[in-house]
Each structure stands twice: as structure tokens, then as C-alpha cells.
Amino acid sequence: MKVLPIDPEQSPLVILDLLFKLKIKDVMTAPVFTVSRRDTLRAVQRLMKERTITGVPVAEDGRLFGIVSVDDIINALDGGYIDDPVEQRMSRNVVVLEEDMPLSFGTSYFRKYRFGRFPVLNKDNRLVGILSSRDVSASLLLELFKEYRRLEQQVQPPPAPEFDHIRLQFKVRRYDFENAGKASYELKRILTAQQTDPRIVRRAAIAAYEMEMNQIVHSIGGVISCSIAGRRIEIVARDLGPGIEDVEAALREGFTTANDWIKSLGFGAGMGLPNIRRVSDHFEIHSKPGSGTTVRATILIPNVPPADGAGAGARAAAP
Amino acid sequence: MRITDLAAQLGAETVEAPDPAAEVREGYTSDLLSDVIAHAPSESVLITIQGHLNTVAVATLAGIRAILLANGRPAPDDMRAAARREGVAILRSPENQFALSHRVHRLLHGP
């Protein structure tokens, strides 16, 4: 019978690694139950039964004299000498391990000697523990599990439920209608690629597009910044001027200062700011005539799993 | 309804059809692009007289699949290039928005 079926030449590298990395003292059972030389074999048999162990070292003050195995007990019962003192019947040629040896020594001993257990001594030859095949299998399983978890985390980090911080920035120039939509396209593309709910994507695209249009139509130029972090999409439009005379009025639907040319293109109907405010969870505007305007729109991504078909673009986005 | 079938039924000219098999399920009529982006349904055809680049931008952001230009309005080259790039169809008809809206509604939703 193979006590411990670990053959280094046929084991995966990860097991070999562990066999060399772990020391006997990391794996052994300690402290160890012992009997003294004057105890009877019957006392040993009781100890084995109580502690469900199959081998007991004979030691006094840490000094090892021998070992009694369950086979010895069976023979004693059979031969009728179960009440003899241990000293007369124990095995005296005990094969021992040292606590600082790598575990590979332990497994090679199991294959070489066919014993079920080996007492473990420290540098001063004192008994400090015992190594059974069960200790080896249990610790290898435990270490393999730890190793597996470590590899798993290394190879495939768990999918982040939230966005890492993404920042985008776009320059907007006055009357540059040709590039209108650059910021909103890019924002939409990134959000869609991350399987964001299409309704959220559309709200973000609306806010960004209206900000771009406002800067193109009304400002002397500015910057649109988008920041996606966690469950928060923040879109900020900062321009260099000329600023808004009456912010309250500008927030009313239909209020506009756009000229006819702008209106003929389908813009300047006084819907931009109200649209942005409508799609935002938080909305802020700061403006002063003579200096610039800052509009900040925050859209929060609800903490619910995306609905079926969330990845299918704008399919489910119909209001 | 497939965009090619819609054009055929309306007798409209197909100016650009980068994805002829694309389907439209809804319609929306407006010339105000802020209104379009805020309210137009996705997978729709937009009936408008706004024949320029920004109509394509708004259509893309709103998920509109076809722009139907009314009153025979022309589609400038940069608009057509953007439509090809973004996969948005452009159709054109000499009819006005009122008539086109009526016909598109009947085709999509029945009499």
C-alpha cells in the first residue's frame, strides 16, 4: 500500500514547488501526545482510541526513546501482553525527521520507509511534533487552494462592477459646427462599450451634445471635460466668455439669444440648458458676464444589473 | 420596415443607405435639433428640413436610422460623408413634412 502517493517525478510543478517551499515544521502536528517508558501498552491503546491516533512516540522531557504503532497494539492484544510496560515492546529504531527539513524529505521518507508517521526533532534533538501522511495531504490541499486563489486573482482579476476613472477632454471652438458632437460621440462610445444601460448613455449624450452646441453657438470657445468614475458620470463645460447676463432666464425653456442663422440650423431654440438639467441627477451652472460659464451635469448609474439587451446599443433607449 | 422598402413605398430618393437592411420602427418630425435629441425615439426615421452635418450628429446620438429630407432639400457632401461614416441613411422627397409624416405613419403603424 502506498501511504502517500506523491511521486515527485510525476507531480505537477506547483506541488514540487510546495514540497520545497514548505518545511516539516509548517506541516507537522504539534504538540504531540507521548507516553513514558513505564506506561503500559493498554494506556497507549486508550490514548489512541481517545485521540484517534495511530502512533504514539515514547518520550520523556522531550527526549525520544521509541514509538508504539497501532500494529504493535494489535500484536500485544493477540499475544496477550497488552499490560506490559511500553519500554519492553516499543520500536527502538525510530526513523525521525528534522523540523527544518523541506517537506520533500517527508514525502520521500513515506515512500522509502512505509511508516505511517515520523516523529520530528528540533536541532537539539528534542521531540517537537509528529508528521503523518494525513498532515501532508491536508496541508498540501490547503496550500494548493491558496495557490489556486493567488493564480486566479493574477490571471483573471474579478470584473470591476464600476468604472475605473476615465477622463476625456475636448476643445470646442466658436461656430465650429463641423466638429459638434465629437465629445458626445466619444462619451457614448465608451459608455456603450462598457455595457452601460442605453437610457443612461442617451442622457449623457444629450447633456454632452447640448454643452458642445452651447459653446459653439454662444461662447468664444471652451472645453468639455467628461469624467467617468464608479457609478458617476460628470460632464463639465467651461468656456472663456462672454458669460450669461441672466442665468435664471437662460434656464427657462424657449429663452434664447441666438441669431436667425443659428436658428435656421435647428439650434438656439432655448432648449439646451433645460435639456441638460432634465437629464442630470445633479446640475450646476455658474456664470458671470465678462467672465466665463461653467455648467456641470452629473448622471448617476443606478446600482442595478443591466436589463436584457443593454448591450444592444440604443435599441431600448426609446423614451 | 426596411429603409429600402420605406424609400420605395414613399417614392423617395435614396441619397445614402450605408445599411440598406436596417429597420425603422418609429418616426419623428422636427426641425429643432435640441428637440430631436431630447425626444426622438431610437430606430426611427427623422422627417426634417435640416439638411446639414449636425442632423447626422444628432441622429447618431439619438439612435435615429434614417433622415428623410422634406421639400427636396439638398444634402451637402459633408453631411453625406458623415452619414456614410455613422451608418445613417439619408432619403429625400419633394413632399412637405406634413404629407410625409402622414404617409410614414400609415406605413409604420397602419391606417
* Ordered per-residue pLDDT tens for chain B, 111 residues: 999 999 999 999 999 999 988 999 999 999 999 899 989 999 999 999 999 999 999 999 999 999 999 999 999 999 999 999 999 999 999 999 999 999 999 999 988
Measured between CA atoms, the residue of chain B closest to residue A203 is B38
Number of domains in chain A: 2
CB proximity B81 to A under 8 Å: no
**Of A78-82, A195-199, A309-313, B15-19, which gets the smallest average pLDDT?**
A309-313
- CB of A7 within 8 A of CB of A111? yes
At A132, phi and psi to the nearest 5?
-110, 165
Contacts of A282 (CB under 8 A, 6+ apart): A296, A297, A298
Which of A155, A188, A218 terminates a domain? The answer is A155
Distance from the Cα of B48 to chain A's closest Cα (Å) equals 10
Decide which of A152 and A186 is more confident.
A186
Across the range A246-271, mean pLDDT stands at: 88
The residue among A191, A252, A261, A271 with the most chain B CBs within 10 A of its CB, best to mutate, is A271
CB proximity A266 to B under 8 Å: yes
Does residue A312 register a pLDDT over 50?
Answer: no
Residues A58-103 pLDDT 10s: 999 999 999 999 999 999 999 999 999 999 999 988 999 999 988 8
Q: How far is residue B23's CA from residue B41's CA, in Å, rounded to a whole number?
A: 13
pLDDT for residue B22 = 93
What is the average pLDDT value for chain A, to the nearest integer?
86
Measured between CA atoms, the residue of chain A closest to residue B41 is A318
**Which residue among B32, B42, B53 sits closest to A177, beta carbon to beta carbon?**
B53
What's A74's domain CATH number?
3.10.580.10
Which of A94, A123, A155 terminates a domain? The answer is A155
Contacts of B74 (CB under 8 A, 6+ apart): B51, B92
* ipTM of this predicted structure: 0.81
Pick the CATH number of B3-109 from 3.40.50.300, 1.10.3720.10, 3.30.470.10, 3.40.1390.20: 3.40.1390.20
- Domain membership flag for residue A1: no
Q: How confident is the model at residue A162 (pLDDT cuts 50, 70, 90)?
A: low
Q: Indicate whether A49 and A74 sit together in one domain.
A: yes
Measured between CA atoms, the residue of chain B closest to residue A201 is B61
- What strands lie across the sheet with B44-48, from one edge to the other? B13-16, B89-92, B66-69, B44-48, B26-29
CB proximity A221 to B under 8 Å: no
